Amino acid sequence: MTDSAFQQCINPDCGKAFGIEEIYHSCPQCGGLLDVSYNWNRLAVPKKLNDFEKYWSKRDVPQRLSGVWRFHDLMPFVPLEQCVTTGEGQTLLQNANGVAPFVGVRESSLFLQYEGLNPSGSFKDNGMAGAFTHGKLVGAKQAACASTGNTSASLAMFCAITKLMKAVIFIGSGKIAYGKLSQALDYGAKTVQIEGDFDDAMARVQEVSKQLGIYLVNSVNPFRLEGQKSIMFRVLEQLRWEVPDWIVVPGGNLGNSSAFGKAFLELHQLGLIKKIPRIAIINATGANTLYRLVEQDGLCWNGGRYDKSLVKRFYDEMTAAGRRASTIASAIEINRPVNLSKCLRTLEVMKGVVRDVSEQEILDAKSQVGAGGFGCEPASAASVAGAKRLVAEGVIGRDERVVCVLTGHQLKDPDATVAYHRMDEALYEKYLKKRGVTETPYANRPVTVANHIDAIIDTVKKDGEQR
Ligand SMILES: *Cc1c(COP(=O)(O)O)cnc(C)c1O
Ligand SMILES: [Zn+2]
């Protein structure tokens, strides 16, 4: 390939390359996942990371205001002026001193990256900017995704704002948080509810989009992952270009973790960083395929020649046992992650570890993130619960700098929050107790009082009801 950017199969025994303008969900030769790759020596790449600061003064250019395209030099698959943006990536890294004691690290060591502050309320907007830029390049008119909620909200929003494509979303019949579904409906996406779960919807959307020529924006789309690399570039930017010790991220379809590994590998290859941080990928116990394969069965990247028979056996057993993903953290309720192989590469590049955390750990962590301000949805809190676990195990040191990625906004799933705070017992039983959340130690219970001024004043004055 002589172009400065191209697509390439990640299977080292294949490695076939394709032009940027081609559309594949996987390698047509071997079925492997595709990367967007670059001939960096044909491109002008900044010599040091703080060279990116020169773009801060260009906020009148929409692509420079974008927290994704501000880093276009590190994802230059089309010229800057052709990049699609809805204002994504204006997100915040907070030194979360209020949450550090809960996690168990020293006060100034914990950072939370609030990707819920994106326009549609989750990190998916970073990737959608990449996918839409490619979709526009290839002239796509319709775009589809299977979604546990946030991808569809993001897709629908990008369609509504840019009018470049029309959205078709596939959802399963299980849990989908209404905060997310309401966005897709409001933005006008065609919504197809399949009688099955997310893994079924994911399989179907790939068939349907192939047959009907609809552009697929799930994270098998390598251009989406290019956009998601920017989450890590912004983390570095906000740490004044210092590399932290740990990145902790929830794992669902494993697009984010795959993108992060690629981001750091490229930065390292370009000589822009000396050290690569470690990564911890956190599953929910009810959807812990990655955890079991990696930590229990010893699956690893092995230079791209990972043990496919091990994976196949695992999936066959899962099918035979009729095991379905189940967790309150609906955004990571996924048992067959499409980016598994890319994620194995990330685990090698970033010397990663995988853990799974219970519903109880997720919701306790979520309440602590909320108590620290801003808040997040349940799946996002898996990262904080996982960090806490790894500190307790001694894997993460108390003095190490830890960045937990909060993937989605607190208002995406208010049911889980209200149930945890025991707003009403029936809701708590239905949403949480049934799932094994038997305690709510951080609940901020509302108090009820008669409509009588003395009683109300007594209640307001009383200590101990508020955390
Ligand atoms: C999509 C999503 C995830 C899972 O990310 P993957 O890249 O699929 O692993 C986690 N949290 C939230 C809020 C999400 O929307
Ligand atoms: Zn291939």
Each residue's pLDDT tens digit, 234-288: 999 999 999 999 999 999 999 999 999 999 999 999 999 999 999 999 999 999 9
Structure tokens at 135: 């979709």
Q: What is the pLDDT of residue 267?
A: 98
Percent of the chain with pLDDT over 70: 98
Residue 150 Cβ contacting ligand 1 at under 6 Å: yes
The beta-strand segments (E) located in 4-82 are 5-9, 17-18, 34-38
Q: What is the pLDDT of residue 93?
A: 98
Stretch among 43-47, 221-225, 234-238, 293-297 having the lowest mean pLDDT: 43-47
Nearest CA residue ID for atom 13, ligand 1: 408
- Nearest CA to 410 among 177, 229, 189, 248? 177
Question: Quick one: which atom of ligand 1 is closest to the CA of 377?
Answer: 13
User: How would you list the strands of the sheet with 17-18, edge to edge?
Assistant: 17-18, 5-9, 34-38
Q: Are 67 and 230 in contact (CB under 8 A)?
A: yes
Sequence-separated (6 or more) residues with CB below 8 Å from residue 354? 251, 280, 281, 282, 283, 290, 291, 294, 295, 347
Mean pLDDT on 322-338: 95
Nearest CA residue ID for atom 15, ligand 1: 150
Nearest CA residue ID for atom 8, ligand 1: 253
Q: Are β-strands 190-193 and 166-171 bridged in parallel, bridged antiparallel, or unpaired?
A: parallel
Ligand nearest to the CA of 35: 2
Q: What is the pLDDT of residue 199?
A: 85
Q: What is the pLDDT of residue 466?
A: 53
Q: What is the pLDDT of residue 173?
A: 80
Task: Classify residue 401 by its DSSP letter.
Answer: -
Residue 253 Cβ contacting ligand 1 at under 6 Å: yes
Nearest CA residue ID for atom 5, ligand 1: 252
- When pLDDT is cut at 50, 70 and 90, the band that residue 196 belongs to is confident
- Nearest CA to 225 among 349, 130, 119? 130
Residue 407 Cβ contacting ligand 1 at under 6 Å: yes
Mean pLDDT on 212-241: 97
Q: What is the pLDDT of residue 83?
A: 98
Task: Classify residue 464 by its DSSP letter.
Answer: S
Percent of the chain with pLDDT over 90: 90
Question: Quick one: which atom of ligand 1 is closest to the CA of 408?
Answer: 13
Q: What is the pLDDT of residue 239?
A: 98
Residue 375 Cβ contacting ligand 1 at under 6 Å: no
Distance 4 CA to ligand 1 centre (A): 30
CA distance 157 to 167: 9
Question: Quick one: which atom of ligand 1 is closest to the CA of 250?
Answer: 10
Nearest CA residue ID for atom 14, ligand 1: 331
Q: What is the pLDDT of residue 79?
A: 97
| 194, amino acid identity | I
Q: What is the pLDDT of residue 2?
A: 61
Distance 18 CA to ligand 2 centre (A): 10
Distance 227 CA to ligand 1 centre (A): 14
Whether 105 has a pLDDT exceeding 60, the answer reads yes
Residues with CB under 5 A from ligand 2 (ion): 9, 11, 14, 16, 27, 29-30, 32
CA distance 371 to 365: 10
Average pLDDT of the chain is 95
**What torsion do the CA atoms of 132, 137, 142, 145 make, to the nearest 10 degrees?**
-40
Residue 377 Cβ contacting ligand 1 at under 6 Å: yes
Mean pLDDT on 434-454: 94
Stretch among 139-143, 314-318, 444-448 having the lowest mean pLDDT: 444-448
Ligand nearest to the CA of 150: 1
- When pLDDT is cut at 50, 70 and 90, the band that residue 172 belongs to is confident
Label residues 76-113 b or e (16+ Cβ within 10 Å = b).
Answer: bbbeeeebbbbebbebebbbbebbbebbbbeeebbbbb
Q: Are 246 and 279 in contact (CB under 8 A)?
A: yes
CA triple 172-175-181, angle to 5 deg: 75
CA distance 279 to 403: 10
Q: What is the pLDDT of residue 25?
A: 87
Q: What is the pLDDT of residue 287?
A: 98
Question: Quick one: which atom of ligand 1 is closest to the CA of 123?
Answer: 15
Structure tokens at 94: 């907070």
pTM above 0.85, yes or no: yes
- When pLDDT is cut at 50, 70 and 90, the band that residue 224 belongs to is very high
Distance 464 CA to ligand 1 centre (A): 37
Distances (CA, A) of 260 to 207, 226, 256: 28, 9, 6
Look at 358 and 467; give whichever has higher pLDDT.
358
Distance 257 CA to ligand 1 centre (A): 10
Ligand nearest to the CA of 30: 2
How many other C-beta atoms can be found within 10 angstroms of the C-beta atom of residue 138?
12
CA distance 244 to 227: 21
Ligand nearest to the CA of 32: 2
CA distance 461 to 307: 63
Distance 339 CA to ligand 2 centre (A): 15
Residue 116 Cβ contacting ligand 1 at under 6 Å: no
Q: What is the pLDDT of residue 316?
A: 98
Q: What is the pLDDT of residue 197?
A: 84
Ligand nearest to the CA of 413: 1
Q: What is the pLDDT of residue 221?
A: 97
Nearest CA residue ID for atom 4, ligand 1: 252
- Nearest CA to 103 among 360, 402, 384? 384
CA distance 337 to 75: 24
Question: Quick one: which atom of ligand 1 is closest to the CA of 258?
Answer: 7
Ligand nearest to the CA of 15: 2
Residue 332 Cβ contacting ligand 1 at under 6 Å: yes
- When pLDDT is cut at 50, 70 and 90, the band that residue 148 belongs to is confident
